[in-house]
């Protein structure tokens, strides 16, 4: 049997246990709260948003297209007033790009390039109409013949030299090709090199849309020019340097080419090219 003293000690122990149990709960809660706060303080910061490399690439290509189209229009003597709409679009596009709206900026730059091209086409059509409406100079009367030999009709001269020397015209053509390559304009490269195979066009396209490429430098050096009838043959050195996004540079193309060119209604075109020994 439990004695009265033992019973009293038992009640005292139960009371102490109850009190200690409540204190222990408070200690446990405090320890858990401190551990949670410690874990939160050691937790890594949230990752930074990913870099929109695709948006950067699209913006780069469309910016180059707009710049190229404007330079082409200026070279074709398009008046500044006709370029104002495209210039306004480019200003808004650059503002959007600075705010991070790269795709919207790219769309506006594409519209600006279309404005410049349309202005150039309209200007060329107006110049052609004006030239057709302007009467040519009245030919001076021929002097009277002095003898029988001079009264014979004179045959028109054949094989007259072009207004621009071949070497200068071919140099201008490859300067235009340099701009098209540097601005990554596949349609313009195809216009200047109309006889490219499907594989060659695919190589240029894959090259132009490479997101790792920051910019391009193209150099076509005309080394020799000769003419045979309507075809001009040229020896040309082709160099294309790639500037990568990581700051490095490398040569994509470095060849000596034998090329054939003709002058048609839309200007000079390269109709054939092959590698020549260096």
Per domain, the residue ranges of the chain are 53-130, 164-276
Q: At what angle do helices 53-75 and 102-133 cross, to 10 degrees?
A: 20
Answer yes or no: are the C-beta atoms of 265 and 257 closer than 8 Å.
Answer: no
Q: Write the class of the CATH domain 164-276.
A: alpha beta
For residues 166 and 28, which has the higher predicted lDDT (pLDDT)?
Answer: 166
pLDDT in tens, 186-213: 999 999 999 988 899 999 999 898 889 9
Answer yes or no: are the C-beta atoms of 127 and 134 closer than 8 Å.
Answer: no
For residues 25 and 238, which has the higher predicted lDDT (pLDDT)?
Answer: 238
Answer yes or no: are the C-beta atoms of 251 and 245 closer than 8 Å.
Answer: no
CA distances from 67 to 78, 182, 189 (A): 15, 11, 16
What global pTM score does this model have?
0.49
User: What does pLDDT average to over the chain?
Assistant: 76
The reported pLDDT for the residue numbered 93 is 86
């Amino acid at each position: 049997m439990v004695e009265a003293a033992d019973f009293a000690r038992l009640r005292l122990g139960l009371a102490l246990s109850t009190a200690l149990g409540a204190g222990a709960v408070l200690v446990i809660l405090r320890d858990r709260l401190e551990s949670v706060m410690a874990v939160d303080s050691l937790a890594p910061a949230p990752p930074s948003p990913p870099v929109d490399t695709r948006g950067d690439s699209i913006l780069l290509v469309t910016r180059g297209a707009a710049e190229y189209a404007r330079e082409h229009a200026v070279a074709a003597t398009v008046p500044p007033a006709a370029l104002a709409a495209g210039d306004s679009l480019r200003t808004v596009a650059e503002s959007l790009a600075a705010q991070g709206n790269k795709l919207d900026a790219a769309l506006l730059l594409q519209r600006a390039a279309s404005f410049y091209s349309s202005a150039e086409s309209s200007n060329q059509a107006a110049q052609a109409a004006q030239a057709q409406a302007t009467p040519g100079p009245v030919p001076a009367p021929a002097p009277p013949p002095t003898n029988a030999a001079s009264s014979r009709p004179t045959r028109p001269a054949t094989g007259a030299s072009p207004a621009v020397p071949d070497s200068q015209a071919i140099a201008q053509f490859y300067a235009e090709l340099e701009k098209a390559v540097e601005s990554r304009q596949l349609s313009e490269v195809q216009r200047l090199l109309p006889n490219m195979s499907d594989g060659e066009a695919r190589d240029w396209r894959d090259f132009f849309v490479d997101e790792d490429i920051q910019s391009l430098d193209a150099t076509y050096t005309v080394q020799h020019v000769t003419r045979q009838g309507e075809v001009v043959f040229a020896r040309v050195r082709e160099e294309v340097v790639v500037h990568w996004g990581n700051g490095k540079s490398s040569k994509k193309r470095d060849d000596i080419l034998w090329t054939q060119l003709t002058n048609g209604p839309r200007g000079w075109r390269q109709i054939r090219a092959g590698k020549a020994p260096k």
